[in-house]
Amino acid sequence: MLIASYNPSGMGDNLIVLTNQSTNFNVNHAGDVVQFIGDNDELIGYNFINISQSLDLSNVSGQVFLSSEQVEKLNTLIKKAGFTQELVIDDDPKFVVGYVEKAEPHPDSDHLQVTTTVVDNDERVQIVSGSPNMQQGIKVVVAKVGAMMPSGLIIWPGELRGVSSDGMIVSGRELRLPNAPQVPGALILPDDFAPVGTPFDVNSTAAQSLFK
């Protein structure tokens, strides 16, 4: 997993790269590289200070989708700082067209449902959803583990009331699509929108015109 964020107006000239979720970590600082290490020497991520000296991020604000060349440059900075745990590129799409194959009541909630959602031809994930319009047999947009929502929220593996949930079935409002209803509810895609597993680009013409 590789989640990168650059927001010069809010964070200064710093690139934050996360590889794991943890609330307990140690901080190691060498030059312009800050390393975050969790339990058992697990890499949590890096903060690259004065990143504009190494990468051109002048047109970026928010999530950064790092190329293999950019990851290689970051790993060079990591080595120069004396750290050994390198970054591995993650080019798996994090927002995809999904299909709710099954939706069942949560055993400990009267408003949550436990879904089995297809996110690729041979990949299914369990996602707990509170959307009032959730049902089986619909096409949806899935934010997979490792996705960063427009709000900055990162989707991590988790659980809701004791049931594991790996991902999030999102609404048009959460994706900040034009004219999306400002009420809770999953974005239900037309059956012919795109095949299951297709990356969902919020800036595409098809996505931008869903609520027109």
Separation between Cα atoms, residue 5 and residue 60, nearest integer Å? 9
Lookup: tokens for 132? 């009032």
CA 21/CA 189 separation, integer angstroms: 31
Please, are residues 37 and 26 in contact by the beta-carbon 8 Å criterion?
Answer: yes
Residue 209 burial (CB count, 10 A) = 11
Entry pTM = 0.86
Tens-level pLDDT at each residue, the chain (212 residues): 899 998 888 888 999 999 988 878 999 999 999 999 998 889 999 999 999 999 999 887 788 889 999 999 999 999 999 999 999 998 889 999 999 999 999 999 989 999 999 999 889 999 999 999 999 999 999 999 999 998 888 999 998 889 999 999 999 999 999 999 999 999 999 999 999 999 999 989 999 999 98
In this structure, are residues 146 and 90 in contact, taking their beta carbons and an 8 Å threshold? yes
